[in-house]
Structures are given as structure tokens and as C-alpha cells.
Amino acid sequence: MTSLYVVDTLAEGGQIGAEEIVEAAVRCQRVEGDFVLGVSTGSTPGSTWRALAGRLGESSVDTGRIQAFALDEYLDIEADHPESYRAVVRRQITLPLGLNPEKVRCPGDDGRDLQAPQRYEQAIRDAGGIDLQVLGIGRNGHIAFNEPGSSLASRCRVAALAEQTRQDNSRFFSSQEEVPRYCITQGIGTIMQARQLLLIAYGTAKAEALAAALEGPITAAVPASAIQLHPDVVVVADRSAASLLVHSANYSALRL
């Protein structure tokens, strides 16, 4: 079941995303235990993290009772590299939101041995599963670093980045050569077990991927299309990213 918000600006999208996260956190913290937030890196969720930093302070959410799990992490990069996802999560999420660093996890942060993906999967299970997972989408339809061809049942694992993803992410590095080739990523099966998904997409470059994900066939060729089978998906898109959707009037809720 998909709800779609079409927004005019990233700031508006950020406010809506932040509100969804706060509502989920309040719901979860009303019952015992932590709110478990799945976090995405990349450019897309930036305005959501900024808005959330403001909203959390005004809400009844106890930031000490938030656990966070990143979607993915580059493998062939030093952990203290400023573009390692561990560093990005610390800079954009842990510090501004005032989260307890001990409750924020990235794949491979406890060692990059062969068992690291399984340990990460287990850590998510031990936390009680992810309550709300924030997702961006790649131009090739990837979610996390599940590139086209990834099994829709895949779990946390070591994977290779598609060449298009390496080109897209080269803007964060000083040269194309420096862009990592491998990662540890949550699998599509892992993501699908989150209780709620918040997929954010901005810009014309994401329009084809978003339309394929929400309205095309469910196929490993478009990993994000798996979310059509998820019971609780909120999509926040700007007008450019939503421009190729043709059936959105029939979604369970359309919020303009």
C-alpha cells in the first residue's frame, strides 16, 4: 500500500519526511523499547535529516531511545575517510539529531571479515527489526546498494557497485578512480522486513526509476520495484521525480 506526497521543494519534502519519522517514533516509543530507524545516506535525505533535527526537539521523542542502522557502507575505503558512510552518518545524522553513537550502526563497523554481513543482519533482528526505513533510489532503480539483478529475497551481503552508481557517486570523491567498487549492503529481503518504508526521490534524473519502481513490473532488473509488495510505503517525491507516474491517482492515498 503506497501513499504519495508530491512536493514543490526539497525543504517541503524534508518536513513531510521528518513528520513521518517523528510520528513513527512516537508510536513506537509509546510501547516499550527503542524506535529503530533505518537510515540512508546520499544527497536525497539531506533535507529530511535537517528538518528532523528541528522536529525532534519539539516532539516527545526520546532521542536516547532511538537506534539507527545504516543501509550500506563502502568496503574498499578507510573507515575514517570523510565519505565512508560511517563518517557521513555521524556528520549528517548522529550528531545533528543528538543520537547516542553507541546505538548507531553501519555494516562492517565491528570488523570487515566474512561474517560481517550476517552479524549486521543479526544485530537488526536483535534490535527487534527496523520500524521505519528511509530509502533513496538510484537512477538504475537500486535501493541501498542492491543493483539491478539483485535477488528480491537478498539479505545483508558483500556486493559490487554498478558502474553507473560509481559514476553517480564520483561527485563525492576527488577522482573516478577513488570511488569504491564494493560495499556491504542490506538486502532487498532485509529492507522489506522493515515495518514502514519512506522512499524519497527528487529530480528529473530519478523520474524513470521511480515510475519503474512504483508502476512497472516487479523485477530484479528494478530492485526498488520490490516495494510494491510492502504493506506500508510512504513516497515523497518532487514534481520532477513524480512526472512519469501515470497511475498515482489510484494509490491508496495521494497527498498533494
| 238 is a site residue for ligand F6R (CB under 6 A) | no
Beta carbons of 238 and 10 less than 8 angstroms apart: yes
Tell me the three cell numbers of residue 233.
510505503
User: Which part of the chain contacts ligand F6R (CB under 6 A), choosing from 20-28, 51-59, 142-150, 155-163?
Assistant: 142-150
DSSP 155-213: -SEEEEPPHHHHHHHGGGSSSGGGS-SEEEE--HHHHHTSSEEEEEE-SGGGHHHHHHH
Tell me the three cell numbers of residue 97.
539529531
Q: Which of 71, 179, 214, 237 binds ligand F6R (CB under 6 A)?
A: 71
Q: Which of 142, 197, 233, 238 binds ligand F6R (CB under 6 A)?
A: 142
Q: Minimum distance from CB of 146 to ligand F6R (Å)?
A: 8
DSSP count for the chain of H helices, then E strands: 8, 11
- Looking at residue 222, its amino acid is V
Beta carbons of 140 and 147 less than 8 angstroms apart: yes
- When the beta carbons of 26 and 87 are compared against ligand F6R, the nearer one is 87
Which residue among the candidates 83, 109, 121, 147 is catalytic per the annotation? 147
Q: Which of 2, 41, 59, 67 binds ligand F6R (CB under 6 A)?
A: 41
Q: Strands 253-255 and 2-7: what pairing?
A: parallel
* Distance, CA of 53 to CA of 47 (rounded, Å): 10
| 223 is a site residue for ligand F6R (CB under 6 A) | no
Buried b (16+ CB within 10 A) or exposed e, 82-106: ebbbbbbbbebbbeebebeeebbbb
- When the beta carbons of 124 and 137 are compared against ligand F6R, the nearer one is 137
147 is catalytic: yes
User: Which part of the chain contacts ligand F6R (CB under 6 A), choosing from 34-42, 103-111, 114-122, 238-246?
Assistant: 34-42
User: Which part of the chain contacts ligand F6R (CB under 6 A), choosing from 42-50, 102-110, 230-238, 244-252?
Assistant: 42-50
| 107 is a site residue for ligand F6R (CB under 6 A) | no
142 is catalytic: yes
| 156 is a site residue for ligand F6R (CB under 6 A) | no
| 241 is a site residue for ligand F6R (CB under 6 A) | no
- Looking at residue 184, its amino acid is I
Q: Minimum distance from CB of 71 to ligand F6R (Å)?
A: 4
Residue number, nearest CB to ligand F6R: 136
Beta carbons of 8 and 238 less than 8 angstroms apart: yes
Q: Which amino acids are annotated catalytic?
A: 72, 140, 142, 147
Residues that bind ligand F6R (CB under 6 A): 40-44, 71-72, 136-138, 142-145
